Amino acid sequence: MKRKLRTNILVQSTSYLFLLLLLFLALFPAVWMFITSIKPPEEVFTLPPKLTVDNPTLVNYGRVIFDSNIPRSFFNSLVVTVLTTFFTLLFAMLAGYGFSRFVFRGSNTISTGLLFGQMMPGVVLIMPLYMMFGKLHLIDTYGALILANMAITIPLGVIMLRTFFDTVPRELEEAAKIDGCSNLGALFRIVLPISKPGIVAVSVYTFLHTWEEFLFALILSNSSSVKTLPIAVNEFSSEFVIDWGGMMSASVVISVPVLLIFILCHKSFVKGLSDGSIKG
């Protein structure tokens, strides 16, 4: 009995130590980023590097907010991200509901095509997208960034929401239709409220992907009026010099909306992912 108890204690202790190690590895880059953002230039390059700050300063944040393109890029990222999330949800809800409730010729082929679309890396899509947007005169516009990101986010959104819609009893919709609801009315009044965790999961996924997307923003935008935050942060690095203080301060600014979204929605997001994986 004592031997079994000691074994359990050893296993639990090892598990906790492993979790603490994972937590340290996950949090250390964020802590180092914040500490570097409040260091004066002379402390950034001290050897050996220090985790403490002797003379903390907000000068780096002042330069980022008032002397760089970060505010405009923040606005650009917000516009592109919000519109991409909205249109992704709209099309994913309608398409997912159609796949879930209606059997039509070629539906299985289209579903498989969505999986292939999700598996395609952005670097494969960027060339045909650039050529197409060039002919449509969409290069260096919000439209190009929104459509390019939707090409990545809609397939997974449709797949996730279809999984949730499949679990909603059809009897509820039939009862609503008896009371005079149309198919769209049943979708918005019955199906979507029940599928709220899935909607939150798709929204958070789309928001995070678009907010942090780099490749499309780099290739499809040329001017500061359209460039998003990842491109603006990259501009703190030149061929010979890297402004580490400015780059880390800008990175903190970028991380704030992501952190807020995750704090507000993490329960529904995790529930949506877990329910979708179990129900799927």
This prediction has a pTM of 0.80
Helices (H), the chain: 2-37, 41-44, 59-66, 70-101, 107-119, 122-135, 142-167, 170-178, 183-186, 192-194, 196-212, 215-220, 229-234, 244-279
pLDDT tens across the length of the chain (280 residues): 566 666 777 778 888 888 888 888 888 888 888 888 888 877 777 777 777 777 878 888 888 888 778 888 889 999 999 999 999 999 998 888 888 777 777 777 777 777 776 777 778 888 888 899 988 888 989 999 999 999 888 888 888 888 888 787 777 777 777 777 777 777 777 777 887 888 888 888 899 889 988 889 889 888 888 889 888 888 777 656 677 777 888 888 888 888 887 777 666 656 555 554 444 4
- The angle formed by the CA atoms of residues 166, 167 and 170, to the nearest 5 degrees, is 80
CB 78 within 8 A of CB 226: no
Structural domains of the chain, ranges and CATH numbers in brackets: 69-243+255-279 (1.10.3720.10)
